[in-house]
């Protein structure tokens, strides 16, 4: 539609991005309306993460918009350069964009073209949303006519288009949330979730095809972040976050795991304006209520319900094989953190992690010492490293059939905040396995029931260790006669 130039506003001695409508389109009323519509939409909003419009006008029969110039690159260029971005970097970009779209949604504006190219990243790290050329003003008296909406046929970019947008349905802020989720998926995976040879095939994929779980594409993506992204790209708008504020709350919980200063791009003011209130968080509240209900249920009813769930949801795992178990009587032992670590210290936590991953040893204690070294040598590293190292320690205890040494650590995971359901599920499944080994069927059943509800949240959790622990506990329980 337009050419964009780097220009200087001489009166203020500042550089601006000057968008000039192409000459051949200046005589087309619908194009002129769309061009000026962009400026009108953005000019209403003042926000640090939205490109500012300075002036819109007509000069020598040429329509123009003078707007803020952001030296740097856009998100697509960053992805193309790096292949994929770290989870922390993605969170630091999602936050300001969500803050900007929270502002536009309160003004009744739907961007309708959120994509990596329209997310600008300045040289100093600031993040800006640009190009409101397709924006729809839901509460503005001069909203675009149907003819304007149809100009150029498909409105939006198919790779990032929401299902309702692809189907020509009415849109609200949740369409922008979907597009932002697809953008985040692209940044994490290095490619969009849906690709095809034609725009139609891509649009149909958005409507009908589930996105491949991010956890299966990259092992270093926190499952909780993957859950956030997958909720953003739910097919049905009502299954997404109810507001950008709720999305920002979830992102804030993510950022907490990265200690230190706020990453470039996150405005401290917007950070402080997003207080965390677990009582108002739909996911946490629902999980806590379910847990309270489950703990009040009788053991008999829990076992009956669990038997149905086991048959319906976990039959494929049972068919893969079966085993006979002997009951183990034990008491929980203190965590086996070694007093002296003989593992060599590496330069940073990532190298220490790789050393533990590559260690070839049949000695379980030696392998666990390598994972304890990750925690002990780098106590100030991001908490996610400690969590993942402890998960590996538990995996070794499970493989060695050592519930006594693992129970306290499983309890630590089960006691984690409901904002981390994937790790809570792991802890609950582990406790169920430990109780099953102790012949405490009622306690094991209660832990399994709670684990089921936590792990089946949308999208469901696919952690292999959690599934193995769950199934092992179920098999132990099913091998015993039910109580009268």
Structure tokens at 362: 């049949």
d(CA 132, CA 183): 17
| Inter-residue contact 112 to 180 (CB < 8 Å) | no
CA distances from 474 to 287, 392, 415 (A): 22, 22, 22
Structure tokens at 171: 């849109």
Tell me the DSSP string of 129-144: E---TT-EESS-TTPP
Backbone angles phi, psi at 235, to 5 degrees: -65, -40
d(CA 18, CA 54): 10
d(CA 160, CA 277): 31
Q: Of 113, 131, 176, 369, which is the active-site residue? A: 113
Tell me the DSSP string of 314-346: HHHHHHT------------------SS--SPP-
Per the omega criterion (within 30 degrees of 0), is the bond before 459 cis?
yes
| Inter-residue contact 469 to 429 (CB < 8 Å) | yes
d(CA 371, CA 422): 20
Q: Which residue has the tokens 């949240």?
A: 457
Element (H, E) at 354: helix 349-358
Between strands 53-59 and 72-74, the pairing is unpaired
**466 CB-contact burial (10 Å; exposed 0-12 / middle 13-18 / buried 19+):** buried
Tell me the DSSP string of 17-72: EEEEE-GGGTT-HHHHHHHHHHHHHHHT---TTBPPEEEEEEETTEEEEEEE---E
Structure tokens at 385: 């490293």
Work out the end-to-end distance of the chain between its first and last CA atoms, rounded to an integer number of angstroms.
76
Is 113 annotated as catalytic? yes
The residues that are catalytic are 113
């Amino acid at each position: 539609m337009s050419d964009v130039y780097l220009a200087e506003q001489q009166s203020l001695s500042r550089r601006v991005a000057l968008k000039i409508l192409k000459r051949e389109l200046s005589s087309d009323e619908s194009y002129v309306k769309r061009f000026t519509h962009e400026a009108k939409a953005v000019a209403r909003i003042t926000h640090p993460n939205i490109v500012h419009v300075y002036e819109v006008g007509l000069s020598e029969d040429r329509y123009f918009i003078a707007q803020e110039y952001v030296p740097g690159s856009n998100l697509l260029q960053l992805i193309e350069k790096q292949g994929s971005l770290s989870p922390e970097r993605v969170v630091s970009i999602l936050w300001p964009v969500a803050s900007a779209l929270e502002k536009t949604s309160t003004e009744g504006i739907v961007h309708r073209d959120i994509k990596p190219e329209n997310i600008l990243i300045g040289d100093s790290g600031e993040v800006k949303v640009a190009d409101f050329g397709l924006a729809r003003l839901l509460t503005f008296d001069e909203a675009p006519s149907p003819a304007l909406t149809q100009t150029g046929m498909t409105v939006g970019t198919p790779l990032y288009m929401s299902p309702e947008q692809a189907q020509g349905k009415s849109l609200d802020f949740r369409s922008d949330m979907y597009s932002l989720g697809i953008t985040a998926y692209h940044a994490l995976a290095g490619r969009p979730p849906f690709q095809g040879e034609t725009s139609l095939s891509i649009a149909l994929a958005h409507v009908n095809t589930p996105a491949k779980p991010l956890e299966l594409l990259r092992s270093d993506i926190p499952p909780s972040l993957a859950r956030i992204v997958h909720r953003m790209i739910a097919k049905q708008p009502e299954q997404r976050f109810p507001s950008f504020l709720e999305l920002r709350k979830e992102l804030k919980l993510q950022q907490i795991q990265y200690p230190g200063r706020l990453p470039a791009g996150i405005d401290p003011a917007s950070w402080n304006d997003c207080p965390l209130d677990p009582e108002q968080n739909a996911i946490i509240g629902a999980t806590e209520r379910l847990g309270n209900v489950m703990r009040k249920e009788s053991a008999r009813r829990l076992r009956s319900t669990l038997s149905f769930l086991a048959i319906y949801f976990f039959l494929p795992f049972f068919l893969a094989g079966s085993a006979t178990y002997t009951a183990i009587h034990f008491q929980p032992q203190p965590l086996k953190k070694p007093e002296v670590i003989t593992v060599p210290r590496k330069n940073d936590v990532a190298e220490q992690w790789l050393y533990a991953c590559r260690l070839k040893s049949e000695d379980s204690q030696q392998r666990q010492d390598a994972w304890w070294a990750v925690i002990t040598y780098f106590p100030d590293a991001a908490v996610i490293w400690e969590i993942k190292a402890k998960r590996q320690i538990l995996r070794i205890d499970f493989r060695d059939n050592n519930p006594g040494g693992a129970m306290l650590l499983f309890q630590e995971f089960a006691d984690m905040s409901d904002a981390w359901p994937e790790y809570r599920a792991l802890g609950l499944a582990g406790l169920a396995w430990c109780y099953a080994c102790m012949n405490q069927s009622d306690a094991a059943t209660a832990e399994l029931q709670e684990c089921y509800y936590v792990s089946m949240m949308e999208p469901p959790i696919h952690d292999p260790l959690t599934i193995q622990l769950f199934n092992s506990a179920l098999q132990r329980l099913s091998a015993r006669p039910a109580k009268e």
